[in-house]
Structures are given as C-alpha cells and as structure tokens.
Amino acid sequence: MKTSSDLEIPIAFDESSLLERGFEPSRDLGHPGEFPYTRGPQASMYRGKLWTMRQYAGFSTASESNKRYRYLLERGTTGLSVAFDLPTQIGMDSDDALARGEVGKVGVAIDSIEDMELLLDQIPLDKVSISMTINAPASILLSLLLIVAERRGVPWSKLNGTIQNDILKEYAARGTYIFPPAPSMRIVTDIFEFCAKEVPRWNTISVSGYHIREAGSTAVQEVAFTLANGLQYVQAAVDRGLDVDTFAPRISFFFNAHNDFIEEIAKFRAARKLWAMMMNERYNPKDARSLALRFHAQTAGSTLTAQQPENNVIRVAYQAMAAVLGGCQSLHTNGRDEALALPTEEAAKIALRTQQILAWETGVTSSADPLAGSYAVESLTLDIERKARELIAKIESMGGAMASIESGFMQHEIGDSAYQAQRALEEKRAIVVGVNEFTETESSTLPTLVIDESVERDQVARLEAFRARRSGEWKQALTSLDDGARSGANLMPLIANAVRSDCTIGEIVGTLKQTFGEHRDQGF
C-alpha cells in the first residue's frame, strides 16, 4: 500500500487523475452527513457539536480513580473512559491467586457493586457519558453500572455511554478473553437485544481496531479486520432474529490515531465509506443511522517512547489533529509519560489541554471535512478502501471473521506486519526521534505514578468484608444464572440480578464457566 510519503502530490487537486483511478465525486465525495458518509456522519460536524473529550483513566482503587475522574471533569473533559485492571478484564476477583501482583496496576480494580458505587460517586450518570474499556466481562460491568443507576433512581433510558464488548479482537490481538468464541458471541448478542429494549441510548459495542493496530497491523489491516469483525457481530444479531435497525445505530467503532498524518485521515474516511456501503449492500437498513459509522479515536500508545518522553506531547498533538481532521466523534489523548507508567495528573491535564487547544485555537472545527478534495487524501482514501475491501473478501471466503481468527489468519497477518515494522526500525528505514536517531544519553527525569503494594492488600480486605456482610440471596442468583446459561436464555437480566444480589465478578464468571468452559489460545 502506498503511504503519503510515496505519493507525488501536485500543487493543485488533480481531478482527472483520480477519475482515471475510479474516483466518482458524487459517490466518493458528496456532502458531510450524506451516504456514504466519507466526509462525516453529521452534516455540520464540529460546527454543530465538538467531539467528546473522553480521557481514559483508572488505576488503583475505585476511590482513587473517582478522584481522577472528578479532577478531569473539573478541567473540562466531557466524557469518562474507565480503564480496568487486568484481573477485572479477565473476570477475576482481586483475591484470586492468579490476580496476585496485578490488582490496581494497569487500571482500577472492580470486584463488586460496592466498588462500582465508589467509582461513580458524585458522577451524574444521566449527564456524563461513560465509556468502559471492557470486553469478556462487559455484560457484568454494564450490569454493575445499571444497578448503581437503579439505586440512585436514574432511569436506564437516560444513560449514555459505551462498552467496548468486542471479543473477537481479543482472540486476534489482545488476549483478555474468558470463554470460547461461540458463547462469547452469544453474550454480545444478548447485550444487543437487552439494551435495544432497556438501555436505548447505550452504545452496545465499540468494534476496536485500536488494539489490532497496537499489535502491529497496517492501516489497511486495521480497517479490514475491524470492519470484518463488525460484520460478524451484525450477522450474529440478525441470525438471532433482531431487526438490523434495532441495534446497528448503537454500534460504534474505536480506531487508532497513528503517526502517518495523511494516511490516518484517509483511513478514517475510508472506514466510514466502506462500512456504509457494505451495510447498505448486505442489510439494506431503513434507518440511516445504521449506515453511519461513528468512532472514538485514541492516539497511538505504541508510538510513545520512554526515551525523551517530552517528545510524546508533540506526537500526541499531531495524532489528535489527524483524528479530528478524519472526523472522530470522541477522542482520547495519551499522556506524555505512558511509555513509563500510568499517567500522572499533570500528564493527564496536558493531554486534555491538547484537545482543548485543538478545538478552540486551531480553527479546524470551522469546516466539516477540511481536507476534502486534496489529491493525497482522496487518493489514499480510495487506496485504503479498495485494499480493505479485498482483504475483507478474503476473510469472508474463509467463512468470516471468527473463522479467520480460529484458523490463525488474522493473527499471522498482524504478526507479519509487526515484524516488518520492527525490521524497518532496526534498519533505519523508519525513523523514531530519540530511539534510533537523534538520541541522547540522559535518562528521563519525569515523575511517574507508582501504585503502592498496599493497594492490593486493602482491596482484598474490602472484598472480604463485602462478602461477610451480604445475605444469602447471592447463592440463588448464581443458581438462576447457571440455569439460564444452560437453557439459552438472554443472560443480561440474570447477570443484572446477580449484581443486584451482591455477587462478585469472579463468582458470576465462575458460574458461567461451568457451562461455557474457558478459551485456550491455539498458539498460532
């Protein structure tokens, strides 16, 4: 695939050259807010509403994370994004032997409804959009939030937010899975069905290319694998008997904002166009919202360097600009110190200020699609769309995204690309400032966030006290959940009841494992 550096970019827009390559202005350019949404899902874009400044945060305990959320809200962030620790991500309670040494380290530890109440203390659930980066136990974390809202008297119909809930990319690129693919897909579809009726404003999935790119994929692979996974989810829901327009408008996407500035802008535009066209071709939805791809972007963690970490501020700013020029609906900007540790308050504030300067000082929000008509942007948009469509067709010839993951195809493709990228760095065909060129001998003096070992000890003590206080209702709730798993019932009401009855995440996951088993990596 050509990158922006390979293109000969003329001074003026060379329309005839693009036309020769199959570019059709009426189809490929059009207007923002109109099919195929190449130029954005809304007509006014940021002139009507800015993107949500959703800073990803979570560490240590629920109380400490809550303080960080309120700190960010007070400084102008417009949405919360919750990072969970590794035990929570794989459905373990903090006192599990396998959780030892990981509690609260890369995100917040959540074991029970008590933790979720502390996490969301003083957060107005009907006013603040809350995103949760959680996949295998997404149904449980969503249920925890729902029961907190219930106890506060906030109707579920007023809740607005997102759960990532993208289990396919866990098998392909990230690894925080619990159950085998088939029961995992059942739970995803249960969430679609439940939320369409009970939590209509909730984004039930954020189909994630971010982690695919972080694992080493190219821009084309990020688009292709993400959209192929998205189509697999849509088909699973349709096979369940759901009308596409009851759930597709609440599907969102999550993409990486990487380093190649022009390529990234084109990537976002190509993904929107391709999704709209494929959804229209295959499902012919009546609701235009089922066609319009909306996405959250996060600047690329894999591009951050421990060497000269101050340079990361500039990297993040350019990546954020690409995401905005590409038309994101929500954005997280990484902290300068995240190659060293979780971000400090100061680093998180600078990352937020980066978005605010971008929004209010640069002028890029005054046009819906500022780079439309650029030869470089339109050429790359066309290239990425075509190559991603070819790759999706190859995946579907294998039987779809799940089959391509089970065969190891996606994993091999990502691994090969990561290897080529690493070779390019080692051979200096790609330059990273401060790493393989323009290096310095001095080490960083940036202060970093340290998670004290007492965090795990205190979290385990709180969990033990929580279990000691509860009534016996939790046992019956788990029995009902087990029955539902075996009978094929929608699990969301049963999981919500288990949470309401003070069951812990580990207990709920352990119950489901009795029926579903555990997934074991095939070692591709």
CATH number at residue 148: 3.20.20.240
Q: State residue 524's pLDDT score.
A: 52
> Does a structural domain hold residue 440?
no
pLDDT of residue 7: 40
Helix axes 181-198, 505-516, angle to 10 degrees: 120
Residue 367 lies in a domain: yes
Which residues have CB under 8 Å from 253's CB, separation 6+?
Answer: 206, 207, 208, 209, 226, 230, 271, 275, 293, 294, 295, 296
Q: Which residues contact 349 (CB under 8 A, 6 or more apart)?
A: 75
Residue 456: inside a domain, yes or no? Answer: no
Q: At what angle do helices 473-487 and 505-516 cross, to 10 degrees?
A: 30
What lies within 8 Å, CB to CB, of 353 at 6+ separation is none
Measured distance between the N- and C-terminal CA atoms of the chain, rounded to whole angstroms: 25
Please state the rounded mean pLDDT for residues 38-59. 95
409 lies in the same domain as 507: no
Q: Which residues neighbour 456 within 8 Å (Cβ) at sequence distance 6 or greater?
A: 94, 100, 101, 103, 104, 109
Higher local confidence (pLDDT), 520 or 177: 177
208 and 81 within one domain: yes
State whether 497 and 383 are in the same domain: no
What is the Cα–Cα distance from 1 to 23, expressed in whole angstroms? 17
- In angstroms, what CA-CA distances link 69 with 128, 188, 259, 272? 11, 28, 28, 31
Q: pLDDT digits over 333-353, tens only?
A: 999 999 999 999 999 999 999
Kindly state whether residues 13 and 101 are assigned to the same domain: yes
Tell which wins on pLDDT, 182 or 12.
182
If asked whether residues 312 and 397 sit together in one domain, one would say yes
SS3 assignment, position 206: strand
Structural domains of the chain, count: 2
Euclidean distance between CA atoms 28 and 381, whole angstroms: 9
Q: Is residue 450 part of a domain?
A: no
Would you say residue 32 lies in a domain? yes
Closest of 337, 253, 271 to residue 301, by C-alpha: 337
* Domain boundary pick from 393, 426, 459: 426
Mark whether 382 and 256 lie in a shared domain: yes
296 DSSP β-pair partners: 254, 330
Please check whether residue 332 lies inside any domain of the structure: yes
Q: 437 in a domain, yes or no?
A: no
Query: What pLDDT band is residue 523 in, cutting at 50, 70 and 90?
Result: low
Task: Give the rounded percent of residues in the chain with a pLDDT score beyond 70.
Answer: 96
Does some domain include residue 457?
no
pLDDT at 16 over 80: no
Mean pLDDT of 108-128: 97
- Is residue 138 within 8 A of residue 163, CB to CB? The reply is yes
Percent of the chain with pLDDT over 90: 90
> Which three-class secondary structure state does DSSP give residue 422?
helix
Whether 203 and 274 map to the same domain: the answer is yes
Note the pLDDT of residue 18: 76
Is 131 or 523 the better-scoring residue by pLDDT? 131
**What is the band of 15 on the pLDDT scale with cuts at 50, 70, 90?**
low
Same domain membership, residue 481 and residue 378:
no
Do residues 351 and 334 touch, judged by C-beta distance below 8 A?
yes
CA angle 111–330–431, rounded 5-degree value: 100
| Residues 361, 224 share a domain | yes
Calpha distance 123→66 (Å, rounded): 9
How many angstroms separate the CA atoms of 208 and 481, rounded? 29
Residues 223/206/318/11 CA torsion (nearest 10 deg): 40
Angle formed by the axes of helices 311-325 and 261-283, nearest 10°: 40
Which pLDDT band, with edges at 50, 70 and 90, does 444 fall under?
confident
What average pLDDT does the structure give for the chain? 94
The answer on 145 and 78 residing in a single domain is: yes
End position of a domain, from candidates 400, 426, 452:
426
Residue with tokens 């539902």: 484
Taking the alpha carbons of 288, 290, 291, 292 in that order, is the dihedral positive or negative? Answer: positive
Both 477 and 387 in a single domain?
no
- DSSP-assigned letter for residue 373: T
Work out the angle at residue 457's Cα, subtended by the Cα atoms of residues 453 and 460, and round it to the nearest 5 degrees. 140
Report the range of poorest mean pLDDT among 13-27, 470-484, 505-519: 13-27
DSSP H or E run through 377: helix 375-397
What pLDDT score does 8 carry? Answer: 40
Residue 12 confidence (pLDDT) above 80: no
Domain boundaries, position 208: 4-426
Res. 24: pLDDT tops 80: no
Band of residue 10 on the pLDDT scale cut at 50, 70, 90: very low
| Banded model confidence at residue 9, pLDDT cuts 50, 70, 90 | very low
Give me the pLDDT at residue 258, please. Answer: 98
pLDDT of 482 above 50: yes
Report how many helices (DSSP H) and strands (DSSP E) the chain contains, helices first.
20, 9
Q: Is the pTM of this model over 0.75?
A: yes
The answer on pLDDT for 2 being more than 50 is no
Over residues 446-455, mean pLDDT: 91
442 against 118, higher pLDDT: 118
Last residue of a domain, one of 366, 400, 426: 426
**Residue range 487-516: average pLDDT?**
98
In terms of phi and psi (left: phi > 0; alpha: psi -120 to 50; beta: otherwise), the region of 81 is beta
Condensed to tens digits (0 to 9), the pLDDT of residues 286-307 reads 999 999 999 999 999 999 999 9
Band of the pLDDT at 429, cuts 50, 70, 90? very high
Check whether residue 98 and residue 160 sit in a common domain.
yes
